[in-house]
Amino acid sequence: MQARAIALLRGENARMTHARKAIVDLVFSVNSPISAISVLKGLAKKDIGVNKTTVYRELSYLVKSNILKEVFIKPNSIHYESALLPHHHHLICNNCGSVEEVDCVINERKLLQKIKSKGFDLKTHKFELYGTCASCS
């Protein structure tokens, strides 16, 4: 997966700096959406010194380059995940905050079945649709 990200970056003549590589590696290695601050802490823990500003700028850059995606699952903190994963949804625990992926299901029966099979007690869901409204197109 990282290989494909690296290939995409080369495609737009991005320089392969140590910060860029470390950030891509980290975001791709965790299995759920991660915030800029968690990236910062994660890098620090690996003794990779990357500045906060660089982390924010790099994450934005990677979103623009279609390597990462923004995920708004928590208030007031943008999370990022690989944009190269197949389309999926998230199961977010109200209690511990854990985020688990489920592949795209639009059919209710299939959805409920999938969720039950994971032992997840569904309380609410949000289905936000993005695009261009009639008056803008």
Partner DNA sequence: CTTCATGCAAATCTTTTGCACGAAT
Partner DNA sequence: ATTCGTGCAAAAGATTTGCATGAAG
Residue 15 in the binding site for DNA (CB under 7 A): yes
Cβ contacts of residue 71 below 8 Å, gap of 6+?
33, 78, 79, 80, 81, 90
Select the residue interacting with DNA from 29, 44, 46, 49 (CB under 7 A).
49
| Least distance from DNA to the Cβ atom of residue 35, Å | 5
Stretch that binds DNA, among 43-51, 102-110, 113-121, 126-134 (CB under 7 A): 43-51
| Tokens (6 digits) for 6 | 């690296």
The backbone torsions φ and ψ at residue 46, rounded to the nearest 5 degrees and listed phi first, read -90, 10
Please say whether the beta carbons of 50 and 38 come within 8 A.
no
Which helix H or strand E contains 3, and what residues bound it? helix 2-11
Q: Footprint of its own copies on this chain (CB under 8 A)?
A: 70-78, 89-96, 98, 100, 102, 106-108, 111, 115, 118-137
Binding site for DNA (CB under 7 A): 14-20, 35-37, 49-54, 56-58, 60-61, 75-78
